[in-house]
Each structure stands twice: as C-alpha cells, then as structure tokens.
Structure 1
Amino acid sequence: MSETTALCFDMYGTLCDTSSVTRRLGEVLDLSGVLTDAVDATWRRKQLQYSYQAAQMDAYEPFWEVTGRALDYALAEYDIDPTPEERERVVEAYDHLSPYPAAAATLEELGDAGYTVTVLSNGNPAMLERLAENAGLTPHLDDIISADEVGTFKPDPAVYENAARRLGEDIGACRLVSANAWDAAGAGNAGMGVAWVNRRRDPPEAIGPVPETVVDSLARLPDGLGRA
C-alpha cells in the first residue's frame, strides 16, 4: 500500500458524538433519562439501518432525510407524538453534536504533520458543513467529502473511491479514520487504508480486512500513524 498522504475522518461517531442528542431529546420532549436513552439508541440504530436499506434498494435520499425518518420510527416505537416544531428541534440536534475530546487538536496536529485532513461522511454537504462549523472543526479541515456526491452510502466502495478521486490520490494513499467497525471494513474492502478508533475495544468485523492501525482514542492517533 502507498504511503498515506490523506486522512478521511468519519464524522458521526468518530469526530462527533451522536449520543449527545440525548440532552435535546429529553428537554424538548420532556422524557425521563431512561426513555431518552432508549429513544436515542433506536434512533441511531435505525439511522444506520435505513442508510444500508436505501443503498441496497437503490432508493437514495440525503442523510438529513434518513435521519428524520429514523427519528420518526424511534418516536413511534415508544408512542411519542411530538408537534412538528418539537420534531424539528430534535432533528436539529444533529447540527450541534458534541465533538469528542481532542477532535480539533488531533486534526490540527495531523495537518501540521503534513497530512491532507478531510471529512468523509454519509452526511449530506449542508449537514456536514453546519456540524463542522458548530463543533469548531472547520478551521482544521482541508475539505468535506460527502457520500451524497455518488448517491449512495458507506460502506459502498463508490463512496471511498470518490474520496480518492476528489483528493487526486491513489486510494491506497488515503486512509479512513473511523470509530465504526463496519465503516473500517468497508474502506479496507475498497482498497483504502484504515485507522480504527476502537473506543470500546470491540473485535474487528468478521467480514472485511483487519484495520492496519487501531487506537483507543483520537488523541492517540498521531502516534499510531507514526507521523506526530
């Protein structure tokens, strides 16, 4: 594999914490802590499931729409019926996810080390741009690359291949950085290098290549890549 020159960071679950929507859920819908956690878990699970379904069914729609549909399912599962205004306020929590500790500092350090630093995400462009700005990540990014450009979602190889084309690099010179094991497997399958941020010390996926680099936090990534 070529020497890595470009790092492609997953946004949701890697740079920003999707579980940080729980505060907005609880406040807007006046839910108990236990119910808030349950709705949040279902929301994230269905968000991923619907992205897989949309890709397999050739029924693409932007990730913002997928995220809203997943929320609707989660609310229906727990018999929660918000007003349209309340629903919109909850969905908008995805514009204000909390960055993980050291996210901005890690991006800055790796940029200073000579890498091209980008986001590669299922999120549609406007969605990603809003979140990157609100999370304080925009100044540390060279580009934001969206799966929307190819009309499908990760882990379809087309998403990773498009990122390499956008960056003007061989795919083997690009490395995905993701905390999602399925995403890491998808990038490796497409021929992209992988750095897996394995915060929960999970086993790697049984389908797909094993990631070359594994760290337990973003802060450890520069040392793990060997170009700090």
Structure 2
Amino acid sequence: MNTLVFDVNETLLDLAHLDPLFEDVFGSSQVRKEWFSQVILDATVVTLTDTYADFATIGVSAFKLVAARREVEVSEEDFGRVVAGMRSLPPHPEVDVQLKRLYDKGFKLVTLTNSPPAMVAAQLDNAGISKYFQQQISVDAVKAFKPAAKVYDHAASELSEDPNQLWLIAAHNWDTSGAIAAGWNAAFIARPGCRISSLDAQPQIVGSSLVEVVDELIKLKES
C-alpha cells in the first residue's frame, strides 16, 4: 500500500466553520447539517438522473430549498456567503500534523472530491494543506458524484493503479461503501454524526479521528 486517496469536505475540512452563517440566516447552526444532507441527496439525484451540476451549484440550490422549506427569505448575498464559506473551510485540528506523518512516511497522498477542480484547489490552499497532495482528482471529469462506481474507476485510471492497491479515507459511509464496491480498500473516520450502518460495506479501518486512522495505516505499511 502506498497511495492514499482522501475525501475533503468534512473528512479533512471542518464544516462547522459554516455554523455562524446558518445561525445568522436560519436562527440555528443545526440547519447546517440539514443543508449538507440535502446537498448529498441532490448530488445523488443528479447522478442517477444524468443531470449533472457542479457541487457549488448544488450547494446553493440546496440552500434555497432548505430556506423555502423553512419559509425563510434568503438573498444573493447569502448564496455568495455559502460558496465563499465552502472555499475557506479550515482543516480539523489534527489534520495538518497527521498528513505530514503520512507524507514523511512516503505515502502518495491524493484527493478525490465532489467539489469542482477550482474549488478544491482553493479549499486546500486556504486550509494550508495542498503541499501534502501530489494529485487532486474531481468528480467533475466524469459528471457524476460519489459513490457512483465510475468516479472511483476514473480515479484508479488517473492514478494508473489497480483498485485493490488503493485506499480511500473518508468520514462518509456512502463514500467508503462506494470505494469498497469498486474494489478499493477503505478507512473510515467517525467524525461527530458520522457512522457506519449495518448495511454498509465495512471498511478495513475505523477510527474516531484521523490520528487513529493514520496510526493503523502506518502499522499496515510497516508490517
């Protein structure tokens, strides 16, 4: 094992950074979770119906939908705040140190994200972690979102590696399940509110933080 492929949003970057925006617009930061769930649902719908729109567009559309459902008036300025907020998400506290551990151990680090290329480049730069990644892969190339099989197949092709040699690291059960179904290995980070269900393909590694996942990945490499 040498190549580790990371999801970005919520896995590496902290969505809680958006909480003040949702508190301001909706009166509750908890609405941020409802919004992100709607984003993932809408991404799945456009994939299944072959009506692709990029992740930023879906993020704004989901924001409008949540506002309509809650009968809250929102503005173009609010939509801009959503996109700007997604671009400037900070990393979770342990991320920088743990990525450096993997980098120093000789792992090839790659990102595979639902965000379009320009957005993920900005996200990684703004978070100060782009230096660790040798390659950035976006679903935009195949016009479908994770966990569609063709996303993981495309990534394996881009990396010129057999799927069974690749590891996906993510905090989303649908992402690790998609990777495993495509023949990859997977490590799951159980961030707050993120869990594996009994129906999911079971990842080879499960940790409560990136620290625990990195510990196990290094053990495997050195065994």
TM-score w.r.t. the length of structure 2 is: 0.92
SS of residue matched to 1:169? coil
Q: 1:201 to 1:52 in 2, by over 3 A?
A: closer
Which residue is 2:12 aligned to?
Answer: 15
Matches within 5 A, 1:1-228: 4-27=1-24, 29=25, 31-32=26-27, 35-38=28-31, 40-200=32-192, 204-225=196-217, 226=219, 227=221
> Counterparts of 2:53 and 2:95 in 1: how far apart (Å)?
29
- Specify whether residues 13 and 5 from structure 1 end up closer, same or farther in structure 2 by C-alpha distance, changes over 3 A only: same
Q: Aligned partners of 1:99 and 1:7: how far apart in 2?
A: 18
Counterparts of 2:20 and 2:133, CA distance in 1: 27
Contact in 2 for aligned 1:201/1:216 (Cα 8 Å):
no
Conservation of the 8 A alpha-carbon contact between 2:164 and 2:185: yes
Partner deviation per Cα, 1:129-162 (whole Å, 9 max, x = no partner): 1111111111111111111111101101111111
User: Does the CA-based 8 Å contact 1:98-1:135 persist in structure 2?
Assistant: yes
Secondary structure of the 2:29 match is helix
Question: How high is the sequence identity, in percent, across the aligned residues?
Answer: 28
Deviations 1:30-70 (A, max 9, x none): x53xx2322x1221111000011011111111111111111
The whole-number CA distance in structure 2 between the counterparts of 1:81 and 1:201 is: 28
In structure 2, distance between residues paired with 1:219 and 1:98: 17
TM-score (norm 1): 0.90
Task: Work out whether residues 185 and 207 of structure 1, in 8 Å CA contact, stay in contact via their aligned partners in 2.
Answer: no
Q: Counterpart of 2:20 in structure 1: which amino acid? A: R
**How far did residue 224 of structure 1 move?**
1.0
Check the 8 A contact 2:173/2:200 in 1, yes or no.
no
Q: Distance in 1 between matches of 2:45 and 2:63?
A: 16
Q: Aligned equivalents of 1:224 and 1:213: distance in 2? A: 7
Query: 5+ unaligned residues in a row in structure 2: which ranges?
Result: none
Which residue identity lines up with residue 70 of structure 1 in the other structure? A
Number of aligned residues: 220
Distance in structure 1 (CA, Å) of the matches to 2:75 and 2:214: 45
Whole-Å separation in 1 of the counterparts to 2:176 and 2:100: 22
Alpha-carbon contact 1:107-1:141 (below 8 Å) kept? no
CA distance in 1, matches of 2:106, 2:44: 34
SS of 1:205's partner is coil
